[in-house]
Structure 1
Amino acid sequence: MATIKEIAKEANVSPSTVSRVLAGSSKISPETTKRVLEAIKKLGYVPNANAKGLVAKKSFTVGVFVPREPENAFLNSFFDQVITSICTVVNSFEYDILLAISNPEKERDLLKRLVESKKVDGFVLLSSREKDPAIEYLKSIDFKFVVIGRPIGYENSVNWVDNDNLKAGFDATEYLIRLGHRKIAFMGGPNDLVVTVDRFSGYKKALEKYGIQPRSSYIKFANYYKKSYRENAYEILNQDDRPTAIVCMDDLIAIEVFRVAESFNLKVGKDLSVVAFNNSNASEICQPPLTTVDINILHLGRLAAEVLMMDLGESTKTYRRIIVPHQIVERSSCSRA
């Protein structure tokens, strides 16, 4: 592989000039910069990331932060898809990705360690919670980051990308109501997640609009474990006056509902209508195929990464808030009441 000295000889400049070009210095003339870049391309030079970082005082690495137990971090396909789209954007800027996963009680220590060791230049936070310690810490030290999710209390003072989850929850519930359902349950994820709070609020608003009284026995929240989803589905369906329809927080929960419904000899799409969120690959292949709200996961990840990369390249602070549209994808898991 070519060295900086060889690049310098080819471009007829000093090695220090090559180093400054690699560091993105604006003090080098356009003509010289062009000559150096052409030499780099001709000789196939690949800069060492560590050396490049030392010169530019950057790590050229973006941290992707997942605040949950490592063993449960990727049960939901949302994270696979969103990280894929983040990587595509970040890598196009010749930055690397550092995946940071932590139990909630240790997350501040992890973030502090990564920041103080200068291993990352910024973070993409993959969720937002009420009184979110990650947001509060990074905001307190003025470190660059973007959130996928609505940052409660910081809506106008941090970068974030999200769906209108209140409207999405409303739309999913209203879809069932228009099919004639009035006994509609809600199965959510952890109730400190802002996405859960917003979709549940939308569910309640739809019931209120149509004069339907919410029933506490029809409303369940769960942690990240499949077992808790299954237990909640069992409790909801094992009632004398069971619901005829369920709004599920995501496709993974809906699949557990399918399994429990089968144990009660209930046919999804006939005896029980189910609508969920995410439009994952599983939603198309499960039986029956799942009606779900497509939240455009790849678009969320791409926009979040682009916002962070813009922020890393700017000297002045501009906060960006982007709402990604959603749409209901109708399949076979819902029918008229």
Structure 2
Amino acid sequence: MSITIKDVAKKANVAPSTVSRVMSDSPNISEKTKRKVRKVMEEMGYHLNLNARTLVQKSTQTIGIVMKNSTSQSLLNPVFPEVLSGISAYCHKQGYSMLLTTGETEEDIFVDTEKMVQGKRVDGVIVLYSKKDDQVVPFLMSSGIPFAVIGKPVFDSNKIMYVDNDNIQAAKDATDYVIKRGHQRIGFIGGDPRFEVTQARLSGYKEAVRESNLEIHDDYIKNFSYDRELGTLAIDELLNLTEPPTAIVITDDLNALIVVLALKERNIKVPDDISIVSFNNTMISRLSTPPLTSVDIQTFQLGYESARCLIEQIKEPETINKRIIIPALIVERESCIGYGQ
């Protein structure tokens, strides 16, 4: 005969409703009680029938993930697999699966999101980006489904749950790090300017330059996204200036690698000729030649916390929208030295 919740409750000396709440990991149940009930469940060989629970609770036990770009393009950058790893770790802990958008264009990604939500395929959604002129976040707000954004929302940030770094401060710290090493001509290479993270890091860079009484040169500011040809063009434009920068702050390790390779092709050494500080502290920063000094934004934790906040809200709908800032720190390696060293 199959084991029931009532059987578990009787042996654990708790109410059946308590067993149910333990299985949904309700924050209203103490950790001590959860451990006791789970131990009894394991001893009795009780396994939750997810299909039955889905029918009863109308829950899919699935989180939708809205990618920044097409899945194939996003996964080229080590940041996104690491973020997904963090999301997956918490989802696994709570018995949730993940469903990713697979569209190749922005419109395809939006249609994927509509299908997820309107088809009731997911209990909540995590958006892996924040940008202006976005269709996804306004749609999610109007749909009423629980969702979280990784990145500070461009609008209505006080109404939206999000997890982010203080990207203005992080870029200011990275630029100050370069300035303290005697550099005064400092370039900036950002990603796609439509994304909030690019604008925030540009603001931090400008703030640091301004506070050090240095001049902000528009010619020193470039943008490209994971494109070898555009990266090479940006470097050529910087090198052809009358006074080229002696250091560059680059907002992504992958872009930084493209820059290092372009400089090497021109017989310009990093850090002897140009110093570089990049962002994200991915595997690229460790494997690059030279290894890159990089701002660690704790990508795994960004994913983990976004999943935690979202699943808590799914289970307890009255939970307020959280806004969590993950600290960033500079990891020193070999790509930045003092000016004139």
Place the TM-score, normalised by the shorter chain, in its bin: 0.7 to 0.9
1:225 CA displacement? 3.3
Q: 1:12 to 1:195 in 2, by over 3 A?
A: closer
Q: 1:9 to 1:329 in 2, by over 3 A?
A: closer
Once the two structures are overlaid, the 10-residue window that deviates more, 102-111 or 256-265, is 102-111
Would the aligned equivalents of 1:22 and 1:52 in 2 still touch at CA under 8 Å? no
Q: 1:53 to 1:274 in 2, by over 3 A?
A: same
SS at match of 2:214: coil
Partner of residue 286, structure 2: 284
Partner of residue 73, structure 1: 74
1:47 CA displacement? 4.0
Partner of residue 277, structure 2: 275
Partner of residue 83, structure 1: 84
In structure 1, what is the Cα distance between the partners aligned to 2:213 and 2:35?
Answer: 68
Partner of residue 2, structure 2: 6
- 1:330 is matched with which residue: 323, 329, 332? 332
| Counterpart residue identity of residue 239, structure 2 | L
What is the CA deviation profile of residues 72-116 of structure 1, one whole-angstrom value per residue up to 9, with x for unaligned ones? 111211111111011110111111111224321223221111111
Q: 1:101 to 1:186 in 2, by over 3 A?
A: farther
Q: How many residues align?
A: 324
In structure 2, what is the Cα distance between the partners aligned to 1:12 and 1:164?
Answer: 46
What is the CA deviation profile of residues 186-233 of structure 1, one whole-angstrom value per residue up to 9, with x for unaligned ones? 111100110000000111111111222222222111234344333323
Would the aligned equivalents of 2:101 and 2:109 in 1 still touch at CA under 8 Å? no
CA-atom RMSD in angstroms: 2.9
SS at match of 2:193: coil
Q: 1:38 to 1:220 in 2, by over 3 A?
A: closer
1:223-234, aligned counterparts within 5 Å?
223-234=225-236
In structure 1, what is the Cα distance between the partners aligned to 2:195 and 2:321?
Answer: 22
Q: 1:49 to 1:178 in 2, by over 3 A?
A: same
Would the aligned equivalents of 1:53 and 1:60 in 2 still touch at CA under 8 Å? yes
Q: 1:317 to 1:10 in 2, by over 3 A?
A: closer
1:168-187, aligned counterparts within 5 Å?
168-187=170-189
Would the aligned equivalents of 2:124 and 2:147 in 1 still touch at CA under 8 Å? yes
In structure 1, what is the Cα distance between the partners aligned to 2:5 and 2:312?
Answer: 34
| Counterpart residue identity of residue 74, structure 1 | L
Residue 308 in structure 1 maps to residue 304 in structure 2: no
Partner of residue 95, structure 1: 96
In structure 2, what is the Cα distance between the partners aligned to 1:161 and 1:330?
Answer: 25
Partner of residue 145, structure 1: 147
| Counterpart residue identity of residue 42, structure 2 | K
In structure 2, what is the Cα distance between the partners aligned to 1:92 and 1:12?
Answer: 21
In structure 2, what is the Cα distance between the partners aligned to 1:40 and 1:131?
Answer: 49
SS at match of 2:159: coil
In structure 1, what is the Cα distance between the partners aligned to 2:5 and 2:269?
Answer: 74
Partner of residue 30, structure 1: none
Q: 1:143 to 1:182 in 2, by over 3 A?
A: same
1:269 CA displacement? 1.3
Would the aligned equivalents of 1:190 and 1:224 in 2 still touch at CA under 8 Å? no
1:98-137, aligned counterparts within 5 Å?
98-102=99-103, 103-137=105-139
Q: 1:9 to 1:201 in 2, by over 3 A?
A: closer
TM-score when normalising by structure 2: 0.86
Would the aligned equivalents of 1:85 and 1:299 in 2 still touch at CA under 8 Å? yes
1:317 CA displacement? 4.2
SS at match of 1:335: coil
| Counterpart residue identity of residue 105, structure 1 | E
Would the aligned equivalents of 2:5 and 2:20 in 1 still touch at CA under 8 Å? no
Q: 1:22 to 1:262 in 2, by over 3 A?
A: same
Q: 1:37 to 1:179 in 2, by over 3 A?
A: closer
In structure 2, what is the Cα distance between the partners aligned to 1:188 and 1:137?
Answer: 28
Unaligned runs of 5+ in 2: 10-15, 27-33
Would the aligned equivalents of 2:175 and 2:205 in 1 still touch at CA under 8 Å? yes
1:330 CA displacement? 1.3
In structure 2, what is the Cα distance between the partners aligned to 1:130 and 1:156?
Answer: 16
Would the aligned equivalents of 1:295 and 1:325 in 2 still touch at CA under 8 Å? yes
1:235 CA displacement? 2.8
Would the aligned equivalents of 2:231 and 2:255 in 1 still touch at CA under 8 Å? yes
1:149 CA displacement? 0.3
TM-score when normalising by structure 1: 0.87
Residue 203 in structure 1 maps to residue 205 in structure 2: yes
Would the aligned equivalents of 2:66 and 2:126 in 1 still touch at CA under 8 Å? yes
Unaligned runs of 5+ in 1: 27-32
1:234 CA displacement? 3.3
Identity %: 35
SS at match of 1:115: helix
1:71 CA displacement? 2.8
Would the aligned equivalents of 2:209 and 2:216 in 1 still touch at CA under 8 Å? yes
